[in-house]
A and B are shown apart, each in its own frame.
Chain A
């Protein structure tokens, strides 16, 4: 009897542990600063930064001048395990950023994004300027997964979206449209927008059949049927080259996007109409956007050359939160 109670308590503790974990932190990377550094000269300090949602000062961790284009933090390890997509390859830290190892070899460089599979703890994906790569042993070894990718879509893979309910289903944003896999990347098939460079794909957190894609020079495309049909949605939008977009996790149909010299646009109807947000960053280039998981009014925007910005009122007003001369290329809240 006593043994059963202990086991029950242990099980409850294990199940509820994530709920009592730390508050999500904001991670972002600076890739160079406004003042360009010439190769060979001393390079300014940049790399990975992190902090709380209301941070005034931000911690920098890792190497002095690491060019980071994507970050993934394993929340199952309370933020101890971090993966970075970097110019040198995929980097992994198992001690919250104190020490790092490049876990890829010379064949994998210019990595654009890295993803942890939430349902398969050992699986890691990396997109790069050449191909998509997969690790089944938490980054120790990597293999190319390119069966079905066309030469044009292999050349630059910008990012992935994993279907939350079945993470073997992947959508790949490439320099030549969207590719889809239903078997964890082993095989790929075209899934629309051929001829368009797609910078990012997002899946609505409340409806897996709703997808949105940020494209180069063609605004945003939205699919309401799981990627079968894509429709261009740019009415009222400022800017045509869109780098990043994010669904509001609470309010259905609300979508934000940001891109080249256009600040942030907002839609409340799945992209049918857009409103350009007239705020402090309305003419800036926005590279990354994120909404805080437990407060959907709190939005973070990573700007090219102007650092990290924070809005507490759904984007009506922004203030600079960090590194005002930094080129923020990627951001994530974990």
Chain B
């Protein structure tokens, strides 16, 4: 009887392993599909297009034109800072030194507002943390806020640690919505991949698991069914088209991808795969 039990257990574990492998293979296919779509997009002042083109080493001249555009005429706030740092980090392997210098110079000359909600701050401080890591030991006048690299790192690290601790103990200040998970999740993907501090890297990984677990309990039968703290019209009238329903479809593959533009690009470029 005992050998039979052991055999059954092995069979079960094998089955789980096969399913996980299948999941990761299919997830990677979805990522590749999004990247393939994005890398062929024409010029537009969109840092994510440049990010994918550089990441995939495809149509680099257009990517460089985009870098020129987003660094010479910065627009906006953390929604400028976060894409620019994504572009730099995911695309740096194929980015010429002169263009890296343009990105760096824009972080001296242009001060983006840090925003006024929790998801804004996650994007802002993650970008600031990684920027201070990319260009360490530089004095205050070389940064947009007058703080040195070390001051910026400490500031960003302080906020990120505070946010992670608060979120995993008493919950998020910004309640769940049909639209905003990506703005918390994608910075954590970036932090997990690029943080050189193993503790911060691990913290980001834990936050990814925490955010996904918190999200998937709100997802049922192809649509987001959780709280609606911040909403837009489509989230109400066509729940299967909400940003979160699409995000779930991208992660789980339980429905076809509605479109490949938008949030999935931030997940696709990362090295993350489900544990």
Chain B residue contacts of A100, Cβ below 8 A: 145-146
**Contact pick for B155, options A43, A65, A66, A105, CB 8 Å:** A105
Judged by a CB distance under 8 angstroms, whether B115 is at the interface is: yes
Judged by a CB distance under 8 angstroms, whether A107 is at the interface is: yes
Judged by a CB distance under 8 angstroms, whether A227 is at the interface is: no
Judged by a CB distance under 8 angstroms, whether A88 is at the interface is: yes
* Most chain A CB inside 10 Å of its own CB: which residue of B76, B115, B116, B162: B76
Chain A residue contacts of B110, Cβ below 8 A: 64
Give the residues from 64 to 110 in chain A that come closer than 8 angstroms, CB to CB, to chain B.
Answer: 64-67, 87-88, 91, 99-102, 105-107, 109-110
Given A102-B146, A105-B155, check contact A42 B113 (CB 8 Å): no
> Taking the nearest CB of chain B, how far is it from the CB of A139, in angstroms?
11
Size of chain B's interface in residues, with CB distance under 8 A?
A: 24
> Taking the nearest CB of chain B, how far is it from the CB of A285, in angstroms?
21
Residue contact A41 to B155, C-beta cutoff 8 Å: no
Judged by a CB distance under 8 angstroms, whether A63 is at the interface is: yes
Chain A residue contacts of B115, Cβ below 8 A: 39
Given A41-B76, A42-B75, A42-B76, check contact A106 B113 (CB 8 Å): no
> Taking the nearest CB of chain A, how far is it from the CB of B212, in angstroms?
25
Residue contact B114 to A39, C-beta cutoff 8 Å: no
Judged by a CB distance under 8 angstroms, whether B224 is at the interface is: no
* Most chain A CB inside 10 Å of its own CB: which residue of B111, B116, B120, B141: B111
Give the residues from 137 to 182 in chain B that come closer than 8 angstroms, CB to CB, to chain A.
Answer: 140-141, 144-147, 154-156, 158-159, 162
Judged by a CB distance under 8 angstroms, whether B48 is at the interface is: no
CA distance A21 to B103 in the complex (A): 43
CA distance A39 to B124 in the complex (A): 13
Chain A residue contacts of B155, Cβ below 8 A: 105-106
Main secondary structure of the interface of A (DSSP, over half): loop
Residue contact B140 to A101, C-beta cutoff 8 Å: yes
CA distance A105 to B114 in the complex (A): 12
Chain B residue contacts of A67, Cβ below 8 A: 113
Nearest-neighbor residue (CB-CB) of B163 within chain A: A106
CA distance A106 to B115 in the complex (A): 12
Given A101-B146, A102-B147, A106-B125, check contact A87 B113 (CB 8 Å): yes
Given A39-B77, A40-B77, check contact A87 B114 (CB 8 Å): yes
Nearest-neighbor residue (CB-CB) of A93 within chain B: B146
Given A99-B141, A102-B147, check contact A88 B113 (CB 8 Å): yes
Chain A residue contacts of B77, Cβ below 8 A: 39-40, 43, 65
Residue contact B114 to A88, C-beta cutoff 8 Å: yes
CA distance A91 to B113 in the complex (A): 13
CA distance A43 to B155 in the complex (A): 25
CA distance A66 to B156 in the complex (A): 19
CA distance A65 to B146 in the complex (A): 16
Judged by a CB distance under 8 angstroms, whether B272 is at the interface is: no
CA distance A63 to B154 in the complex (A): 23
* Most chain A CB inside 10 Å of its own CB: which residue of B113, B116, B159: B113
Residue contact B145 to A43, C-beta cutoff 8 Å: no
CA distance A91 to B116 in the complex (A): 17
CA distance A302 to B147 in the complex (A): 32
Residue contact B158 to A39, C-beta cutoff 8 Å: no
Nearest-neighbor residue (CB-CB) of B162 within chain A: A106
Nearest-neighbor residue (CB-CB) of A110 within chain B: B116
Residue contact B79 to A40, C-beta cutoff 8 Å: yes
Given A88-B114, A106-B125, A106-B159, check contact A43 B140 (CB 8 Å): no
Chain A residue contacts of B76, Cβ below 8 A: 39-43
Chain A residue contacts of B111, Cβ below 8 A: 63-66
Chain A residue contacts of B145, Cβ below 8 A: 88, 100-102
Chain B residue contacts of A40, Cβ below 8 A: 76-77, 79
CA distance A43 to B162 in the complex (A): 29
CA distance A322 to B141 in the complex (A): 31
Chain B residue contacts of A105, Cβ below 8 A: 154-155, 158
> Taking the nearest CB of chain B, how far is it from the CB of A207, in angstroms?
40
Chain B residue contacts of A42, Cβ below 8 A: 75-76
**Contact pick for B79, options A39, A87, A110, CB 8 Å:** A39
Nearest 4 A/B pairs, CB to CB: A101-B146, A40-B79, A42-B75, A106-B159
CB within 8 Å of A: which residues of B? 75-77, 79, 110-111, 113-116, 120, 125, 140-141, 144-147, 154-156, 158-159, 162
Identify 19 residue pairs between A and B in the complex whose beta-carbon atoms are under 8 Å apart, listed by A's number: A39-B77, A39-B79, A41-B76, A43-B76, A64-B111, A65-B77, A66-B111, A88-B145, A91-B146, A99-B141, A99-B146, A100-B146, A101-B146, A102-B146, A102-B147, A105-B155, A106-B125, A106-B155, A106-B162
